[in-house]
Structures are given as C-alpha cells and as structure tokens.
Amino acid sequence: MTVNLNEINEVLLPRRYQEEIFSRAQERNVIAALDTGSGKTYISTLLIKWTAALNAGSGKIIVFLVPKVALVEQQGDFIAKETTLRVSKCYGATAIDLADRRGWRNELENHDVLVMTAQIFLNILTHSHWSMDKVSLMVFDECHHTRKNHAYNGIMREYFQWPAEQRPKVFGMTASPIWNPRDAAESLATLERNLDAKVIAVREHVDELLDHSPKPQEIVHVYPNPPESYLPYHTPILWDRLNLSDLSPELQIPVTKIKTRYEVTYNSLGLYGAELFLYIDVKHRISQIINQAETDIEYLPFQTGSTVMTASAGVLNEKIAPEVQRIERILAEYQRFFEDPENPEVVPIRVQLKWCSPKVQNLADMLFQHYTHEFQGIVFVEQRHVAACLSRMLPRLPQLDGYIRSAQLIGHGASNLAKSQVRGMALKTQQDVVKMFREREVNLLVATSVAEEGLDFPACELVIRFDPIQHMVGYIQSRGRARHKAATFVVMIENGHQTHVDRYQTFQESEPELRRVYQTRDERTVPQVEEDEGGYEDPDDLLERERFVVPSTGAVLTYNTAIGLLNHLCSLIPRDRFTPVQVPQYTGDFEATLQLPSSLPLPPEDLTFVGPPKRSKKEAKRAVAFMAIKRLHSLNVFDDYLLPAKAQSGDNEDSDGRPIGDVSDIPDTMEVMVKDPWTRSRTQYLHIIHVNGAPTAGLVTGSLLPPADLVVSGDHVYSGEGTPVDMDPEDEWRLRRIMEDYTRMGLWWCITGRGISLPLTCYLVPITPHLHIDWSAMEQAVLHPYGSFDWSGVTEEHYGRILVMSCKEFGRPLLLRKIRHDLTPLSTPAHGTRESSSPTYREFFLQKYTRQGIIPEIPEDGPCIEAEPFPRHTTCIYTLDGSYAAPKTNPTFIMIQKMCRWAYMPEEIWRAFHVLPDLCQRITDIYRARMLRFDLGLPPILDDLLIQALTLPGANAGFNNQRLETLGDSVLKLTSVVHLFNRFPHRHEGQLDILRRNSVSNRTLLSRARDIGLECYLTGEPRVIRLWRYTVPEDQAPYCDPPSRAVLRRFPRRSLQDCMEAILGASFVTGGINMALRAGTALGLSLGGSLPWPFRCALPPQSPVSSMFTDLQDLMGYHFRSGHLLLEAVTHPSFKSMDCASYQRLEFLGDAVIDLVVMRYLYNKFPKATSGQLSWARSRAVCSPALAAVAVNCLGLHKLILINNVELSLAISRYVPILEETSPQDILLNGWKQDPPKAISDVLESVIGAVLVDSGYDFEKTCVVAETVLQDLLLSLSPDMPRDPVSALMVWSAQSGCHKISFRKSQSRPELKRNDCVSVIVHDFAVVGPIPAANLSLAKGLAAERARQVLEDPDSPYLLSRICDCKESMGVERIVYGQQLPIDDLEKKLDDETEEGFATLAQLVMSEVVNPEMSLTGDVLGPSTEVEEEDPEGDRESNTVPSRQDGPTAGSDKWDSIEAYSFVAA
C-alpha cells in the first residue's frame, strides 16, 4: 500500500471509485483489490472515521495492521493527518512491554486507532491484554499475506473463536489478491475464507481508476551470458590473496558459504562486484573476531599508568590468531579499491566496464538512456549483498558518473548476525533512505523485495527487475512502482533462459484473466472456514490439533505459538559471556522429543517431553512444544497470561498475586492528618509530671496519654497514667478558662515569648500535695500574668527560684540571683562589667533605653537586683539514650529593682514548663508508635526503635529513620528473596530477580504503605517551637464530638517507603528475622507470612558430601547434610548436567544473605555512622572484587568450581594470582581497579546461600558462618572509607563550585565500534585522556583519578582556578543542597557525559558526604526553622508598655467568644 504524504492536500476528497469501494465496505467485510497508488489507504481512512462515529462511546478500538515495521509510521501519520482520532503507532522498538498490563490497558483505552505490526496485535490477543469483542474494525494492509503461519492468519484464527455478532468488521487491502495464478479461483477463495471477507474491485468507475493508475510500458531485456573470465582490476585479486580455503576451522568463518555467494555475485556483477562483496563480508567477520578478542581482555590483571595501552595492545595481539592478523593486513592493502572512509556509500575508484558483467553493462546503458533531470528509478534484486555491492558500483561507472545517486534499500535482516552475511537495515535507516529518495537527494534505489509493497515512494519513470521474477505477487507489486504516466517496466533475463521468459509471459498474460476472477463474479456468501496450514500439512494433523485457553484470563495457546513461547522462555535464562545461549533441543522426526535446558530449575522429569506421533516433522515439533507449555503453565513457569512468569518488570501484582495500587496520584508532598493525642474533650485527664522522682506539676488534655520518661538537661522527667479531672459542671467553663490563662502565662514566660491566639489542647497546672489541681494558685497567678512590682514578699529564700523581667525588656525573662541592697541606680558600676561604660547604673539604662529622642523614666533610688538570663526552651529535641550536654554558665547582670517584675510562678512550675516541649514531643512519639503497633498488629518492637523508624530526617530531631531504613533495606531484600526462592522453585534467577525488584521497589513499598495508612503515624514536625503547636486549628471548633485526635502535617511521599523499611529494620534489631517476618506481614509485604522459615521451608534431602569438599567445610566451620546442595553451589551454568542444576538460584539467595550479614555488622559496630556511611562501607564489601578475593584467599573456591568453558577457566587462572597478592584493605580501597570474572564471587555467594538452605533456614547459624568467612574483610571496614575516584572528583568539583565538567567516551580502535576510553572535559578543555582500559568503568576511574591531580597541580595549565569562571558567571541553573526535585526530573539530569548531569550527580554525592541523612529528593519541607539564640547582653528593649496581643493571654478575647459559644451550645 503506498501513500505519498507530501502529495496530500490539506483536505482530500474521495474519487468516485474510492466512494464505490467505501460504500460496499460499509455493508460487509471486503478485500479491496486495487493497484498500487490508487488510494486504498484513503478508503480505509473513510471507513475508520465512519466506524468510529458508529461505535462512539462503546469503548472499542480500531486496529490498522501492517506486515512490516516501516509501514507503521507511514500509515499512522496518514491516519492522524486525515482524522481527528487519537492514533497510536506500535512496533517492536516502541511497543510497551508485554508484561506491562497497566501500560497496555492505558495505551488501548486512551487511543481510538492503533496502527501496529500484526505480531504485536496477535501477542495482545493471545496474552489477553485485549479481546476481539472490544475491536470495532480491523484493517489489513497488504492482506494477501493472510496465509499459512503469518501473523495475519493467527489474528483471524482468534477472530473465528468469537460468535459472529461479537466479531469486528474486516477491511483488507492488496494489489495482488491471488497468490497462485495456476489455481486462481482457489487462491482467491482461500484468502476470502481466511479473512472472512469478499474480494471486490471497482466496477462502475473503471475509467477513472485507470486515469489514476496508469500502466507502464513493459519490456523484456535479454542480456548476453557472462564471460568465463574478466580483466583484473588488480593483480593478484583479493580472493587469491586471502586464500580462505586454508583458514583454520577454529575461526568459525563459513568459507563454503562465502565462496558460494562470491560465485553468485561473480556471475551477476562480474569480477569487481564479487571482490567488493568479498571485501565487505570478510572485513565484517574479522572485525567481529577482533572485537570479541578485545572483549576477552577485560579479564586481564589490571595495569597502571602508561603501561595500560601497551599491555592491552600486546595481549590483544597474542589473543588474535596470526591468520586473522594476516587477513587484516591484506584487507588494509585493498581498502583503496573498495572503501572510501569519508564516503562509504560508493566505491573509491571509477569502475571500468571490463571488470563488470554484461548484465551490469546493460543495466548501465538502460539507466543512461532513460536518464532525465527529474529521473527516479528502482532496480529490484533478490539478495541483500548484491544490492549492497551494486548500489556502491553504479555511481562510479563511466557513463553514470555524475548522473546517478544511488542508495540500497534492504530488509531488517536476521536477528542473529551469524545467520546473515550482510547486516540488514535498521528502521531509521530505511526511513532515511525513503525520505532521501522522495526528496530527490537519491534518484535510484537498489532494493530487495522490501520495496515491492507498502513503502511510500514517488511515481518512478523506470523500474528494472535485475533478477528474475519468482511469483505473481512480486510481479504485480514491483510493476506497481512504475506508475509515472510515461513509465517503463523492464525485466532483465539472461540469454538462453527461456523458462524465465515463459514465467514472465505467464504472469503478464494471466493478470487480466485473474482480475476478471474477482471483478466480474457475483458476490456470494463466503464460508467462514479457517485455512489449513497449506503446503504439506496433513489434514488429519490439523483435525487433531488442540487449543488451550486459560479460564481465568482468556489467554490462548495454539500449536503455532508454542515453539515461540519456549524460545522466549529460554532466552530469558541469565547467562554470562562464557555461557552459550540456552535453546530447546528437538530430536526425532514424526514423534519429537523436546529437551529443555538444564539451567531451568525444573525437576529432571519436567525437562524432557516426548510428543505424540504426527504425520509431519513440523507438526511433531509443534505438538511436543504445546505439551511442554501446558505442563510448564501448571508448574507456574508460565503465568495465566501465558508469558514467562514475571519475565519482565512493570507487573502490577506482587509475587503473591495481590494488586499493587497506582501511586501516580500521590503528590510529591502529601498533606496528611497524623495521629495526635492532644485534644479538647468533655472529659479532661490529669497526668502527674515527676522531675527527678518528685511530683512537680500536672499535664491536662482530652486524651489518656501513655506514660513517658526522658532526660532533659540532666533531669529525669516522667509522666504517669491519667485520671479524669473532676469539675463542677456549673463552674466548668471558669475552671477551664483558668487552666487556659495559666498555661498561656507559663508558655509566654518560659517558652514562646509571644502571645497565643488559638485555644490550647493541653495545660500545665500546679498540683497540691495530694496530687490534685491547685486551682487557688492558678487563680492568684492569672491575676498578675505579667508579674508583680511588689517586692515586699521576696526574700533570700526566693534567690535562684523565681523569674523576673524588666518592663523595658518585655518578653525576656531572667532568673533572680539576689537583691543588691548595697547598690542603687546612682551607684558606680564595677570595672569590667557591661555597665562600666557609664558613670552610674541610671546613666547606663538612660542611654540604653532612649530611642527616637524619647527619654524613659529611670528611678534614682531603691535597690538593684542581680539576675542571669533564663534560657527559653524553644526546642523539643530529646535523646533516646538519655545523654545530654552540660549546661552553659550564664553571666549575671545588674538591673534596677523598681523597673522589674517578678512572676507568680514557683520553681517547680517554671522547671516543668522548661521541660514541657520535650515531654509533649516524647508523649506524641510514644502515642503514635503504640497506635501504629496496635492498629496494624505489629510485633512488640521496642518503643524507642519504632519511634526512630517513624521520625523523618526533616524533623531535625537528633535521630531519624535513615540508619534503620538502610538496615531494613537489607532485611527486606533477604526476606523477599527467601520467600521467592521457596514459593517459585521452578523459576530461574532472572525471573526471581525481577520478582524481587518488584517486591522491594519504591512503588510497591509506597503502595503498601498507602494501603495500611502508614502516613497517619509519621513524625515530621520540626523540633523548634517558636510558635506553640499544641493548639486547636484555626478552622476547627474548640470542641468536637468525638474529639479530633489528628493534626494536619506535610511531608514528602518518599518518606513512606523509607519508613516501611525502617520499621522492618527496627523489628529486626528487636527480635531478629522472625520478628521482621511478623512486622513485614503486618505491613502488607510479600514475605510469605509470619511463620518462621524453619517451619515453612523444606529441608533438602540428605545426601553424602564428596570428599572434595572436606577442606572447604573445615574452613567454613560448617558441615553440610546435603552433598547434592553443595555440589549445586559450585556448578557453573556452562557445566551442563542433567543431575545437578547450576548455582544461579543459590547465588541469588546468597547475595541477599551476605548483604544483610555485612549491614548488620556495620550497624552494630558503628552506632554513630550515618546511613550514607553504612551504605558506602557495605558497597565496598559486597561487590565482585571483594567477594572474589574472599573466595580465593579464604576458601579456595576457584579450585572447586565446576566449569566447562576454556575461556572462563583461563580468565580465572589469570586473575587468581592477583587476588592472592591483594590484602583485604587493598581490595576495599582499590577494588574499583579490579575486574575479576564474576563467577568467582558468584560461587562464594552460592555457597553461603547453600548454608542457609542446608541449615533449615537458620539465619543466625548462617550469619556465624558468613562472618567467619568474611572476617578479614569485615575487620577492615570503617564508616570513613575514602570514596572512589569518580565520587571523589564529583565532591571536590561541587565544593569548588565548578559545574562545567563532564566525561567523554571514545574508541581506541574505531573499527571495532566499542567505547573503551574516557576523557575528562573541563570548560571545553580535555584535561585528561583519552585513557583506555579493559572496560569503561575502569577507564572512568583512572581518568577521574588523573583529572583530580591535574586540576589541583599549581604548575598545570589546567589548574582549576585558572580555567574555571563558574563563580563569576550568573544565571546558570544549579541544584542547591536541600532542594526537592521530582524523581522523574532528577533522573533526566543524571548523565555524567553532560555538564548539567555531572553537576547534578556531584551535588547528590556531596549531599551524602556533607549530610547523609538528607537528600535532594528528600525530606526537607519548606523553609527550615532556626533556633532562636538568646541575647547574653540583654539588648532587646522596648519603650512601650506591652499590649495584651503580645502578652501571655493574647487572643483570649477570641478564645472567650469561641469557648463560651461552645459551652452554651452544649
């Protein structure tokens, strides 16, 4: 189907013949048989718009199917341009993953038309993402492919499974509905049966159709036979120099195939063309061999300094066979004949006609004869390599030089390059070539059959079939490209090949008759019968076929899909570069036997299947594959959608099948009503506060508070259980008002220094010796909320026990030390005091308090007082361990007594007010922790640990959940892995790892936290109380029935997943793995339930242990009960054995065990280490180099591992001496420089995993074994380990303020197309590099290490201070520490090959170093609250009398009206 988008007008109007076809398509399912260029796609667009209008609101979609990837974009763009419908384009590279059910549902529900390749839609149907009854129209482009096993036919088989009334409308489009001209009627009937549609052609407007689809002039051009030999372009020729027949078979170069293709090309193009093919093909193969050799040297021992390149080059030369090096040198000699590096699309020399075949010479003559200024043509060839060579040669032929601009257009090629001697074209390249041809940058295409149909080409003047036409469809489709009004269609046939002439003439003569078959016959009902498999399929086999439908989902398994599903399953088996691709093996002919790879963790009896007898070999293979899939589905290897179980990420269910909710609607910053005990209720409760064991005051609120104890400034504070406050109902309002005013007064004097306008939710009250509220003391105190000027009752016993305040320094309390009767305002200040700058105290205060010319009244008589500042307690930071800082010694000041008031507040009360913020916060924390434990059914986690787990870093509490979250991350990993390991015994490591990542992902944790309402228990309030927070919200009535025990708080949503892991960590610290399982189950995580592992995990059968493991068991201090399990733990996947699986599953388990063992060790040993330090130290120990060193030096596992791969054995043997000479300290500090084969560390992890299984999942016993094995490594760990060079460079650059640094990758050998070098670019200067290494990670580390040295060297021209002007530049966007960024935006910036990405990463790494408890995406909300510093000089003064709004009872008028109304209403 061809549509030229550039020729589309703004509004296309249908031609009459298009309306005719459209009208008939409305009535029934049809197949429109129209020539190329007649506008079939436009007819389909009319039908799409009509169908969409007809089915509006039904939820059905329209599917436009194409047979080739390149057509998706083309047809999708056309439909989107011609309609207002929502169009989606889906093909392999852009399609959503099949396992992403939510993604497909959104894609299907949010679009009206889906343009896609047929195989994708078939997958959607068979895996039950969508069903046929939800489709209103299916359009089949190039529908003649609906035969045999094409995906079109598979879709129609699903179509026929539905009742007729639930099937969608079908519209097919083709220019060649008849595939077999020898039996045209049956060929047509088969297509109609398969598509359940009627083939129709234009009847009433044939003349108009002919005007728009002109027929070209057809010519048969007979060319001479090729000569036996040609004049050489060079002596000797490349074939003779290469002498491929003598190559060693070990090189795996298919010499026979190359020779065959060389001879075919020689016959078709001549000597030069054949030599060009040979050069291209052999060079590609040699490059592959060299590239593989260079990959192998990744496992060489690390070299430092200038020896890197020399060593790598030397070893590379040793690795490459001499024969390969010889061929590489020969190809370099002949490059001048065949390859121009600056223009690889044409050959570098003029191609003489004497080097070319008569066929090429005749082609050149025809192109020259038909050439015009507007010339455009296509040459069709059969083989890709011929197209590649011919397109390079034609522009350099003498008569075409300067006229012809050619390009090749070939298919995508085989997925396995070993099966294709010439690379296929990528989709983008195909589209680029078509675009160039359409825009006349290229005027000649040399194309394979990919250009016969579908792609959008302009009308061509000349189309040439360079090779013989093989079938009717190819004839009609290729001729359709010649639709210019004066076009010529040429068929080239070699002299003497009469059969080719006869075949062409048969096609030409039969075409009119074939057209009449469907143009003139009556429309009759088409029987709805599915086509058989065609070919040599036996009808009895087809009748015996089964069809398996999964009842729960509707997913369908057929004989045609079974083999592909098995191949897909095997392709997902994890493997390293030393393990071959796993594939199913079929043996037998008419009764096939299937052998699945032993790497699949299945019982031996489920690895081999014997199928039923069939009448063809293909059917026998399909039958046994079908049988295997059904069995594997019953074993849960395939899920209910008939996909490899959890084969891809993106699933919306956890490992237990429970849905994972959509968290996309949760904002980055959540507003949550958090549990809070402070409320006002009809019943108030009194809680006695004890300070250092003595009852001091009472705490009154509307809830029964949990007992709490803590240490504040060295004083032990304890609040007991509550008792109801007995108040006379007639006097209740007055008594509540007294408590309100008294508490406001105390808060003003001791904590806030400012008035409170909202009703309070808790009160601090004095108590009598009988532990009742002392109402009389409060009544007296509230009469003088600002204190008293009457000093007559103040004696020496009050010294150090009452608070005073200067009337000129309002809101700043002092603690009375003594009354100085020896001093008066007119006394001379002592030398060295703050007042000594004035002759008298009175003069000092006159000067101090005089403002704006107003002279205050300062008394001249009376005594003075000596006082010290009373520090306001505006924070509520307490410690969990009872530690405290020693109080500071405050200086004393002289004040004039007549200017000061003293507070009606005894010492025990102001001391109680002093500890009140800490006590309230402590009670709040305990209340939330215990409510969480009760509401969720958590196990008895220690209060302090649970409080820590619920405290966010943004609270700045002195402790938070980050350490526990880091530990909990490891706990979650292990508990999830053990559950998956046992729940899915038949899934391999790759599937288990995807399940694990889904179980521990932030999305899952966030969803589960939201499910249980965890956000209602978090503590994120800042620990600074400059404004008293225990008040009734402004928008809430003072009394609610029932009382409100929740307050509005804001914190980032990522806090939820952190708290989930922190709670797991807290439970693990409290009660080990068993309590962690109970906690995780209560949190809704998929851990297999709360039952301890030994009671639910089966022990492996007991079996003897081989004597080869005696020393290993002695070194580990553990003796296995199952020798078979230990054997599995040392078996590499390359060591294929039907009796023993590989170590991959045990390695998956052991990795999680070691991770938790190391993290618990660090957590316990370094209690002051931050989460960032713990994570960094763990990453140094739990990595491939460190574990490989332990495996070699501690256990000698390299001697025990069972391997059947020479390259891996050599790689291990080369690296063992390096590891043996490396100390634990060195491997931790410089492990980034090492890259041992991963198999060494894998086997250590698998052995540790085997210990856990063999011990009956006794984690503590396994932990002892693991710590014994890792002892030397663990002892060398510390939280202050230096960063790797890349991180160190980033931190240093961030601290230096430079944000114009980046890495740049490059290639040491460009022909290998593999990056192995790294440079460091600073302000557009390449200060270091390119530095090569065996792998990019190592190259980056070396480059970063060297760059730091260069940038810090004062003698270097690249000293950073010389070349960096970042601090001077303005307007550059930078990420500021503490800034909260959306995760998606952050990920886009994390590319260290851009300056912005490097700067972003540098800020992230620095944030971990400066304050590891915070993060750029994390827990800082809004502006931070700073602790108000006390002014030791007492310089805060005022010349005005304090107003009520600034005093202790501020807002009382508002409170009076609200509370009085509440009581009256009650």
Token pair for 113: 């038309």
Nearest to 475 by CA among 486, 462, 490: 490
Assess contact for 969 and 977: CB atoms under 8 A: no
Burial class (CB in 10 A: 0-12, 13-18, 19+), 525: exposed
Taking Cα atoms as reference points, which of 769, 777, 802 lies closest to residue 688?
769
Q: Do residues 1082 and 936 lie in contact, with contact meaning Cβ atoms separated by under 8 Å? A: yes
Q: Are 999 and 654 in contact (CB under 8 A)?
A: yes
What SS3 state is found at 656?
Answer: coil
Q: What type of residue sits at position 1138?
A: M
The DSSP H or E segment spanning 223 is strand 217-223
Sign of CA dihedral 509, 510, 516, 518: negative
Task: Determine the 3-state secondary structure of 171 from DSSP.
Answer: strand
Number of neighbours of residue 317 by Cβ within 10 angstroms: 11
Query: Which 3 state secondary structure label does DSSP give 1370?
Result: coil
**Is cis: bond before 1330, omega within 30 of 0?**
yes
User: In angstroms, rounded to a whole number, what is the distance separating the alpha carbons of residues 1113 and 1129?
Assistant: 13
Please state, in angstroms and rounded to a whole number, the distance separating the CA atoms of residues 1356 and 1346.
Answer: 12
Catalytic, out of 323, 1058, 1151, 1459? 1151
**Of the candidates 1176, 1358, 1198, 1177, the residue with the CA atom closest to the CA atom of residue 1275:** 1177
Query: Whole-angstrom Cα distance, residue 216 to residue 482?
Result: 6
Q: Would you list the DSSP string of 958-1008?
A: S--SHHHHHHHHHHHHHHHHHHHHHH-TT--HHHHHHHHHHHHSHHHHHHH
Environment class of residue 248 by beta-carbon count within 10 Å: exposed (0-12), middle (13-18) or buried (19+)? exposed
Question: Is 1151 a known active-site residue?
Answer: yes
Counting DSSP H helices and E strands in the chain, the numbers are: 47, 33
Alpha-carbon distance 758 to 1033, whole Å? 7
Residue type, 406: S
Q: Which of 192, 1015, 1245, 1396 is catalytic?
A: 1245
* Residue in 1398, 1375, 1181 with CA at minimum distance from that of residue 1289: 1398
List, in order, residues 6 or more apart from 1453 with CB less than 8 Å away.
none
Place of tokens 């005990």: 677
Contact 1339, 1333 (CB under 8 A): yes
Residue with tokens 């601009």: 405
CB-CB contact of 456 with 74 (8 Å): yes
Buried b (16+ CB within 10 A) or exposed e, 1353-1371: eeeeebebeebbebeeeee
Point out which residues pair with 701 in neighbouring strands.
685, 762
Helix axes 384-393, 271-296, angle to 10 degrees: 110
The backbone torsions φ and ψ at residue 943, rounded to the nearest 5 degrees and listed phi first, read -55, -50
CA angle 480, 485, 489 (to 5 degrees): 45
Q: Which amino acid belongs to residue 764?
A: L
| Contact (Cβ atoms closer than 8 angstroms) between residue 865 and residue 819 | yes
CB 1345 within 8 A of CB 1382: no
Instruction: Look at residue 91 and give its three-state secondary structure.
Output: coil
Q: Are residues 140 and 65 in contact, defined by beta-carbon separation less than 8 angstroms? A: yes
Provide the annotated active-site residues. 1151, 1245
